[in-house]
Amino acid sequence: MANGLSNTKEIIAILKDVLIFLLIMLILIFPSKFKDYLLAAGVTKVNWGGVEWQPSLASSDLNLKDAKLTIGDLSHRLDSSNRLLIRIKDFIPNGPMKAEIVSANSKNVSTLSEIKNVQSAIQHTISSNAVIVNKVQDELNNGGVWGVVFASDASIEAAQDEIRYAKSHNIPNTSIYLRHGSYASVSVVNTKDEANQVLKKAGIRRSDAFIVPMETWCPNANSKNGYLDCSIR
């Protein structure tokens, strides 16, 4: 029994040494490819003492930016509706209807304040991760195309308005992408430098516009009637 256990431990030790040897050989023979695999898995730093993991950080960052843009659009629409309520209120005589409008207005103001707090929290998280996220994205998207997401709307009609505005302001190669149930307006360019230039233009209208690696943000785009479906729900 003791001999069997000892033999098993020796076999496990030998297998461990073999695996370590194969791992080292992979790193030496295919350093670039191995690095890509690690980055895709979320490894952001490797040293002889071990690896440091940042699981799905780049993907989470893109989702946060999508959410921030969508929240910004919803906030704008809520603010517009609230302003309309304020104008209507002046034409309504005192009574239950006017009281309901005043109450709705008050609730909307409170909601808008809460939305700003959420946006600030999201931006803080995005900013905290910006350096490492940019590094990972550059590594993963080496040679791939880039997109600048400058609007996110609930309807394709609203997205089409954004595209028309973008084209009138010389924002190039614009398309509509359906992602997470929202219609995103995107300018697709070949390099990160071009994306930064487009971001400056788009940022004049929407300060929450952001750059994405298209291979990650919308890896499986299917052409539909007037838009591209990312098949991400």
Domain 59-229 is in which class?
alpha beta
Identity of the residue numbered 118: V
Residue ranges per domain, the chain?
2-53, 59-229
Q: How many CB atoms lie within 10 A of CB 3?
A: 7
Q: How many CB atoms lie within 10 A of CB 13?
A: 10
- Whether the CB-CB separation of 176 and 163 falls below 8 Å is answered with yes
Q: Categorize the per-residue pLDDT at 117 as very low, low, confident or very high, splitting at 50, 70 and 90.
A: confident
- pLDDT tens, 45-61? 544 344 444 446 667 77
Q: What's the pLDDT at 181?
A: 87
Which pTM was predicted?
A: 0.63
DSSP state of 78: H
Share of the chain above pLDDT 90, in %: 30
- pLDDT tens, 197-217? 999 999 998 888 999 999 889
Q: What's the pLDDT at 156?
A: 94
Beta strands 222-223 and 228-229: pairing type?
antiparallel
